[in-house]
Structure formats: C-alpha cells, structure tokens
Amino acid sequence: MQPRWGTTVMSPENEMSEDYSSIDELLDTAKKCRRNIVQMVHRANAGHPGGSLSAIDILVALYKTRLNVDSSNPDDPERDRFIMSKGHASPAVYAILHEMGFLSEEDLSTYRVMGGVCQGHVDMKWTPGVDFSAGSLGMGLSFGLGTALAATLDDSPRTSYVMLGDGELQEGQVWEAAMAAVHHEVGNLKVFVDRNRIQNDDFCEKQMRMFDVAAKWGGFGWAVRECDGHNMNEIVEAIEWMDSVTDGPAVVVAHTIKGKGVSFMEDNPSFHGAAPNDDQLRVAMEELE
Amino acid sequence: MSLVASRDGYGSALVKLATDPEVIVVEADLGKSTKSQNFRKLLPERTISLGIAEQNMMLVSAGLATSGYKPFASTFAIFTERAFEQVRNGIARPNIPVHICGSHGGIHTGTDGSSAQSIEDLAIYRSLPNMVVMHPSDFNSTEQLTLQLAQTKSPSYTRTARNKTPVIYDEQAASNLKIGKGSILVEGNDVAIIACGVMVSRALEAAQNLEANGINATVVDMHTIKPLDGKLISQLAEKCGCFVTAEDHSVIGGLGGAVAEHLSEKCPSPLERIGVSDHFGQSGDGDELLEEYSMGASHIVAAAQRVMQRK
C-alpha cells in the first residue's frame, strides 16, 4: 500500500445514503441517549458529559447501522470490536449499550456506584458489551490494532472500530500505533476522532495547538475523511466510506461540539468533567424533549 | 561447566512453542537481543514487529490476547518500564494473559552501563495485582518456565539476563520446575540462601565455601518472585532459622523485599539482603561489577556468617 500523502477528502454535500425514516430513527435514539447521559452524570454527581454528548451521534450510527454485536452473546469471538479509547466518555457507551439491549435501565443507575456494572471509565471486566478497559488516554488505538491483527490472522471478517478524542492525540502512543497500522497494512481497523476541540483544562487550541488533524493522519499514510459529527447522514456515509477502505487503516475526523444538545454545556470547557445541578438538569431535559 | 545466557533459553522456548497455533511473538525491534528472532525466523507470519515503540507493543499484545492469542512480547527490561502504565492499566488491571519478557536485566548486563541495567523491574511488576513475576537462573530453567507460561492464564513478566552464566539444571532437572515453587538446589540446616537469576550460581559457590568452613547452607533458586513460595520460606525458617537473599536487583522491593515481607509477618527470622544497595550501576564487565558492588560469592558467605550470629 502506498501512503496516501495529503489525501484529506471532505465528504460530499449531504447525500442521503439511507432512507429518511431510518435517519429519523437514529436521531431519535441519539436523543434518548443524550437524556440518559445527562441523567447518569447528574445522578452520580460526577462524570464527563461534554465528551459523551459530542460522541454519541457517531456511536448511535455505528451501533445501529454497522457494528456486528449481539446482546444475547456479548462475548461472541466473531463480534466486531468497539474500543472507546477516551474512556471517560463512558456515559455515551452505556447509553448506546442500553439502547442495544446490553444494559438495563437499572444498570445505568449504577454509573460510578460501588459494585455497579457501569464503572467511571469503561471497563471490559465490569460491563457486558465493553471490549476495552480504558481510563488512561492514548492506549485504545494500540489495543484496536491488536484486535484487528488477530482478525487478520484468523482470516475473519470482524472489524475493529476505535474512537479517539482530539485532546487524546497529544499522547505519543497514538502515533506509535498510527505508524504501525499503516506499516502492517491493517485494513480492518477504523478510527473516529471526536474533534470537539476541548480537553480537560481548556480549549485544545490553548492547551496544545494541533493545526490540521486530518493532515496529520494523512501524513502517517492513513486514508482520511472529515465529516460533521452531528449530521447523521454524513456519519452514516462516513462509516460506509471507511468500510470501503480495505488496503489499510481509515480514519474519520468528525467535527463535533462538546456538550452537543444541551445549550449551557455546548462548547463549554467547564462541562468536560462536571455534573449538572438540579436546575441545570431540568433545563437540559426540557431541551432534550 | 558450560556457560549460556538465560535469554537464549527464552528464544529456545519460543521455538518449541511454535507448535501451539495460539502463540504469537510481538517485538519492539530488539528481537536479535531478546532472542525472539529465533521464533521470527521460523514463523514470520506469526511474529508482529512494531518498531521502537514499547507502549504500543503492550496494548497490541493485549488486543491479541483478548482475541484468543497467547502473545509473548519482549524487549529490554528497562524499556518494558517505559510502558509501565500500559502494563498496569492495559494488561494487569483487566487481567489479560500477555507474557512480557524483559532481557538485559540487572547490573550483570555490564558494559552498556547504568541506563540499560534495570534494577527495579522485579519490584515494580511485583506490586501489580494479577502479575506473575519470574527471574530464572539459567538456560534450561528459563526455557522450561517460559514453556509453562503458555498454559498460564495470568499476565506475566519474566526477566532474562544478557550475559552467559553457568548451566545449573540439565533438561531432566528443569522439567521438574514449576512456576511459583522454589527449587531447592542444596540442603543444609544452618542458613537458607534464597537467590534468583544470575545470583543463583554465586549462591551455589557460596554454599560450597561455607561447607568448607563447616557451615551447611540450603540454597533455593526462587525463580518465581510472585507468587512467592511462602510455604517453602516458612519451612526454611523452621529448619535453618536465618536467611540470606541474593539478587541482581535493588535490595528494595525485589526478592529480598518479598522474602522480608513474608518473614516479618509469618515467621520472624534474621535476614541479610545481597543486592544493589540503592544506587545505579556503571559500565564494566558484569562479573567485575557484581564484585565491585559487594554481590559476589564471598559477600554471600560473609552475609551468611553475619546472619547466623543473629539467630
């Protein structure tokens, strides 16, 4: 495989790749997930709503349209893998796993509670449907590379999807894995970057300027595409595109809004890792009606 | 007495493990040195080389292991430490059976100097829940214990040595070794010398010297630091009543630390620790450096004589 130097491709104008009704269903599911995300964090009085709300549209589209997983057999060796590398966005994972039948309403109420199945950061040992124990940034892409290489060795069609945060790209290990994935021509490894532009302390731009994120991936030889991470049509199409790339790894840089869907959380670094109070919860639920 | 490096035992075991279709070798460029290249030459299609990138190596191995493979990942002991948090959070915490081998451990590594001489690896990996930690003493024991790892469901760290050391076990004797069980090489009632790695041959030499002075020592090859064979140590406390530990590692937190913890809680007994006394190494011949840092056979003899006075 030749490196795709600078082949950043913007997605075409909102072409509808699915019929309207299924897109509406995805949007409806995403809204339900958003409500659960905010409620989980409020109940626990701790957690990371901002990065969960920015990621959730992508998760809904991936689980509902593509990911081969089965809640009645969560450990099926032939399942696709979803690796949430930004493990603090666990409420987003729990919300979609609830929609997919892996977790009950009651399970969701155990988020950050002792003995509960929903740990503070996603953990494969505690939660059915979770494939990777995260919490330290920068490790998920390497793990996904491992599961992808295993699938290749097994001559299996299973695919590994990894979600990275944009702040997470500051971790050097991400680029160790990025280089290795291209070297090994891993065609069954697909990555989403949740480009919400905010990290723990402040805007990424202030903490560590990253310039053109897509160009960085292109420079490493990945097939790259960008999309609006809250436009379901674009997300579904981006997933179809990444699945069409089979001679090497593919990444979609999804431009998102941290806290998307809750006005006072949107683009607000304060809600990276803070829970809404009772009044804020009420407002959020009204906005997510 | 023939001399072979324990890292060659690791390489030899990997070749024998090639018949297990689940075994896979993962490297971060140093296969020539760790001897994982022996497997790569045989089965390049089941060897994953990841360049000089140890953090990535640890998590790629974890991903392979959760997909049904048995990854054996190796680099220098010191470079595994660069990926310590990856081992902690990505392997030990989710209890994923990845087998890490760190070669070139200890002062005995020699002329490369202090940057390469890991003197803390056993201590740090021993502190992680779920981990098996080993430091075998010779070619045959390293080969045997590495073979057993393929049947182990826990993550593990095994330290091997760069330089040649005496072969202590023949193949038959090595086949009796078991992970987690200390191996008694010499029996005596006066003092128990517990050693690991390159220090085992020195402990045997010390026991011979002690015997010439009428002192009968027990010598144990404690190839597994975790889980520690506490049962054997308790029996020796009863039988010998005093201990010397000998390791090419900091006296803090390694074999000496583990034995001290067991003794102080279960069967208080006098103990002297031979090891690196809280300082870094330097370049030099391995054997010469061990003498320089008071870790030779004569130092074990002196420690045994001291500790017997404290009974």
B94 touches chain A (CB under 8 A): yes
**Residues 6 or more apart from A210 whose CB is under 8 A from it?**
A166, A169, A170, A204, A216
Confidence grade of residue A82 (pLDDT, cut at 50, 70, 90): very high
Return the percentage of chain B with pLDDT > 90, whole number.
99
Query: Which positions in chain A touch B89 (Cβ < 8 Å)?
Result: 133, 135-136, 139
Digit-coded pLDDT (tens) for A148-203 = 999 999 999 999 999 999 999 999 999 999 999 999 999 999 999 999 999 999 99
Return the percentage of chain B with pLDDT > 70, whole number.
100
* CATH superfamily assigned to domain B3-166: Thiamin diphosphate (ThDP)-binding fold, Pyr/PP domains (3.40.50.970)
Domains contained in chain A, number: 1
Digit-coded pLDDT (tens) for B262-294 = 999 999 999 999 999 999 999 999 999 999 999
pLDDT at A259 over 90: yes
Q: Where in chain B are the domains? A: 3-166, 183-309
Q: Which domain, by its residues, includes A252?
A: 9-70+78-287
What pLDDT, on a 0 to 100 scale, did the predictor assign at position B1? 74
> Measured between alpha carbons, how far is A45 from A43 in angstroms, rounded to an integer?
5
B52: nearest CA partner in chain A: A176
Q: Which of A122, A124, A133 to mutate to test the interface with B (most CBs of B within 10 A)?
A: A133
CATH number (domain holding residue A212): 3.40.50.970
Listed residue (B232, B47, B9) closest to B135, CA to CA: B9
- Residue A3 inside a domain? The answer is no
**Residues 6 or more apart from A134 whose CB is under 8 A from it?**
A83, A84, A85, A86, A87, A121, A122, A123, A140
What pLDDT, on a 0 to 100 scale, did the predictor assign at position B92? 98
Please report where in the chains the tokens 């009632």 appear, as a residue. B189
**B272, containing H or E segment:** strand B271-276
Which architecture characterizes domain B183-309 according to CATH?
A: 3-Layer(aba) Sandwich (3.40)
Q: What are the Cα distances from residue B46, in Å, to A147, A187, A263, B11, B254?
A: 14, 18, 52, 15, 34
ipTM: 0.95
Return the percentage of chain A with pLDDT > 70, whole number.
93
Instruction: Considering only the beta carbons, identify the residue of A77, A143, A179 that sits closest to B63.
Output: A143
What pLDDT, on a 0 to 100 scale, did the predictor assign at position A20? 56
Digit-coded pLDDT (tens) for A23-44 = 999 999 999 999 999 999 999 9
Confidence grade of residue A101 (pLDDT, cut at 50, 70, 90): very high
**A160, containing H or E segment:** strand A160-165
pLDDT at A13 over 50: no
pLDDT at A3 over 60: no
Q: Is B252 exposed, middle or buried (0-12, 13-18, 19+ CB in 10 A)?
A: middle
Query: Which positions in chain A touch B86 (Cβ < 8 Å)?
Result: 136, 139, 142, 173
> Measured between alpha carbons, how far is B78 from B102 in angstroms, rounded to an integer?
7
Please judge whether A133 and B69 are an interchain contact, meaning their C-beta atoms are less than 8 angstroms apart. Answer: no
Inter-axis angle of helices B230-239 and B255-266, nearest 10: 70
> Measured between alpha carbons, how far is A219 from A198 in angstroms, rounded to an integer?
23
Hey, what are A75's tokens?
A: 């450990």
Hey, what are B227's tokens?
A: 């889980």
Cis ω for the linkage preceding B227 (within 30 of 0): yes
Digit-coded pLDDT (tens) for B44-68 = 999 999 999 999 999 999 999 999 9
What pLDDT, on a 0 to 100 scale, did the predictor assign at position B6? 96
Q: For chain B, positions 114-173, list CB contacts with chain A under 8 A.
A: none
pLDDT at A100 over 50: yes
Please judge whether B50 and A180 are an interchain contact, meaning their C-beta atoms are less than 8 angstroms apart. Answer: yes
pLDDT at B74 over 60: yes
Digit-coded pLDDT (tens) for A34-80 = 999 999 999 999 999 999 999 999 999 999 999 999 999 999 999 99
Tell me whether domains B3-166 and B183-309 share a fold: yes
- Residue A1 inside a domain? The answer is no
Confidence grade of residue B76 (pLDDT, cut at 50, 70, 90): very high
- Residue A228 inside a domain? The answer is yes
Please judge whether A139 and B89 are an interchain contact, meaning their C-beta atoms are less than 8 angstroms apart. Answer: yes
> Measured between alpha carbons, how far is B156 from A103 in angstroms, rounded to an integer?
33
B54 is catalytic: yes
Query: Which positions in chain A touch B95 (Cβ < 8 Å)?
Result: 125
B47 touches chain A (CB under 8 A): no
What pLDDT, on a 0 to 100 scale, did the predictor assign at position B243? 98
